[in-house]
Structure 1
């Protein structure tokens, strides 16, 4: 088998696994290079510390995932994940009020990150064209400014070697060294933008109270970035085996602490509503507190570089890392992989200019999620050196009006949800009927409290 028919994917997390799957039908072989030891089942992995926090796969990503791996949704559900209709089974306080639980317009797949990744990893590696090479460190690229020819690796035994390839995909996440690798090849630095809300995350696993059941809704108290105050929020996510994974978070000056004894107090007293803390009163802690500050939105505009080498593509968090509060990272990874597959199918593996076209496709795929995240986070104090632009202020004013309207207009709530689930692009929010509805405002009065059912309140001992 020739080197030119080999694809090498750097990084064995979700973006890397799905990129490997996307390329498998077209490359002679795909090598998946991972620094960590890949576990057999749904176990923690050092290179994915964010797995300890709440994750969800929105329907935009789940639909893409099903096209890449037909039947994988059913296998995830059989392993303990659940399908949750949105906004039907979501109790959410937005900056503009409580959302009603309207009929389904989107959905999310709920599970721990470890379970989701293990199911996908098993599916991808069952393809004989994909081989995982774990406990292997990537040292750099080989080639020139016009074309990448392979990668330099160091194995678990400390020995270094060069792996030649017809395509190299960087899916190494937030810690990607692609800018340094490209500089070594003689290419200019890519444009970069960072918007950091300063959010810190604290997460903990709980045993759900008896009677809560698998159908308990997600509870989401969103922060309000307006007014120059710290934003504080939290998410209670039912996951497999009768557990709740709870993440609380706060921006600069309002951060939670890693102290386990302070976790429930923060949820009850510091958020805009105490519902999550009240629900936790009857739940049993199952873990310590996982804590992180790696939440900045960071985008590298590789697609805009004046020159780009053949045979090299950057995907996932390595090109666009998002604040996890919006839950879009995994969905973007799945949609990117699907777009990569479709483009390679049309153009052919090894076609001239393929890498450049792929990188531009990646740039388009991340755009909606980037705009949604930055359009909110830019309003936190010190998020950027210059503050929000005039365009961002105008956009946020309109989006805010839409969110307010969605608290009492089911059609607009479903349209907004179709965008936040990444099933539709933000342009769909500019349809004439949506503009008119925003001008009119909500059709129903605002709710005065969380829309939990009597059964849900009773299951956790709240009357």
Structure 2
């Protein structure tokens, strides 16, 4: 697109907002990113992002999309210390149906602190001269009508108000998005929204790994049992930059960890399905107190289904669909949605009537896949819904449970499952004849009796 006068305003300077800004700039749009807080210059904590203290991973499906938008970003992250872990080669995971084997690499995860990832993405995006950042500015309202949005009303940190006009406004303000209020204020009906809240609470702590395990150690993941009839409890250890382990423990309603540092080790040892996390962190040096949050509900706004949708407005990221962080899909969905937005502009042309509706439908597609994965598990925990899972949800879950069981001893099925979890392929790969047959047969190898850590890994972690 050669129209240098095309403008967009992106509300929110987190990963979703920055990647969206980059997607628009890459098709010739001049973009202003409006952020409520002052953004740090480097990989430091950011106000308004409490979830940054908990585990994050970028699945390969999201990493490929991010690389497409920001060529070289993967190498920059690796140079700064981010880990690239092959899936499932470097994963030690206890599924609801037993320990997974460590099969040959099918996909990968990029692991680092959220501060490092945000800072790396932000620096590369803001190096683009077509992108401007306005910090410490609060968005008060949308400008325009029910037919078309024309800009936003801002209040700066000095309390000065001004209207920022744009050809497109994108809401990437996260879970606290005010879009539902803004749309009704314009005279539009409320969009359909669904929330599935398992009541999960997260407690996280940072550790320095034992020296011998600083440079090379697998992810360790204890998954909960959604269909046990009681609270789900789990935990994950992620190796991140500078030889550190970021450990998050979590539990659903009735089985939550506490925010007390003294209780962290107790919960890891007594409330988990296996004590391996407690054994590992007992050999590591604590670097932080416990960070705690309950803002983990799955919430999906179905804006793409609205009968009327204003021109020049799009909603992305957690403002559109927020997921239980346990599944690690938020950033990957944001990256894939930004690519989808760019592709849609390229296909239909800037300023085409109905473009905003097409954009909203395009960014909803990757959100839909992650949503189905999340609620397919969380809907089974106590107290999530008044009537419990629907019959369809029970049928789908029963099949997924069978696949999980089969994946513990069948590498081909394990790859198909990670095809979907990594967001590289859709759920259709789980319904091919070969996978259906494998699910009927079940695991080809016997169940493992314990976590598949190698002798060398146990020694380097101080457990032998």
TM-score range, shorter chain: over 0.9
Does the alignment pair 1:88 with 2:89?
Answer: yes
Mapping 1:49-198, distance limit 5 Å: 49-198=50-199
Matches of 1:351 and 1:117 in 2, distance apart? 33
Match of 1:220 in 2: 221
Would you say 1:14 and 2:15 are equivalent positions? yes
Q: Deviations over 1:291-350 (max 9, x none)?
A: 000000000000000000000000000010000000000000000000001111111222
Unmatched 5+ residue regions in structure 1? Answer: none
SS at match of 1:379: coil
Change in CA separation of 1:27 and 1:143 when aligned onto 2, cut-off 3 Å = farther
What is the match of residue 450 of structure 1?
451
Which residue does the alignment assign to 2:412?
Answer: 411
Looking at structure 2, the residues matched to 34 and 411 of structure 1 have their Cα atoms a distance apart, in angstroms, of 45
Q: TM-score, normalised by structure 1?
A: 0.99
Partners of 1:256 and 1:4 in 2: CA distance: 52
CA contact (8 A) 1:230 1:253 kept: yes
Deviation of residue 385 (structure 1)?
2.3
2:310 is the alignment partner of 1:309: yes
CA distance in 2, matches of 1:355, 1:4: 18
Give 3-state SS (helix, strand or coil) of 2:117's partner.
helix
Deviations 1:20-59 (A, max 9, x none): 0000023441000000101110000111110000000000
- Structure 1: distance between partners of 2:365 and 2:73: 26
Q: Secondary structure at the match of 2:199?
A: coil
Cα shift at 1:213: 2.8
Instruction: Report the CA distance shift for 1:27/1:138 in structure 2 as closer, same or farther (over 3 A).
Output: farther
Aligned twin of 1:246: 247
Secondary structure of the residue aligned to 1:282 is coil
Match in the other structure for 1:367: 368
Q: Which residue of 1 aligns with 2:262?
A: 261
CA–CA separation in structure 2 for the residues paired with 1:222 and 1:25: 40
Preserved CA contact (<8 Å) 1:30 1:130: yes
Compared CA separation, residues 414 and 58, structure 1 to 2 (3 A)? same
- Would the aligned equivalents of 1:407 and 1:442 in 2 still touch at CA under 8 Å? yes
1:2 shift after superposition: 9.7
* Runs (5+) with no aligned partner, structure 2: none
Q: State whether residues 167 and 350 of structure 1, in contact with CA within 8 Å, keep that contact through their aligned partners in structure 2.
A: no
**Range that drifts further, 263-272 or 328-337:** 263-272
Alpha-carbon shift at residue 232 of structure 1 (Å): 0.3
Runs of 4 or more consecutive aligned structure 1 residues displaced over 2 Å after TM superposition: 1-4, 25-28
Query: Taking structure 2 as the reference length, what is the TM-score of the superposition?
Result: 0.98
| Contact kept? 1:4, 1:350, Cα under 8 Å | no
Tell me the secondary structure at the aligned position of residue 224 of structure 2. Answer: coil
Is 1:223–1:232's contact at 8 Å kept on the other side of the alignment? yes
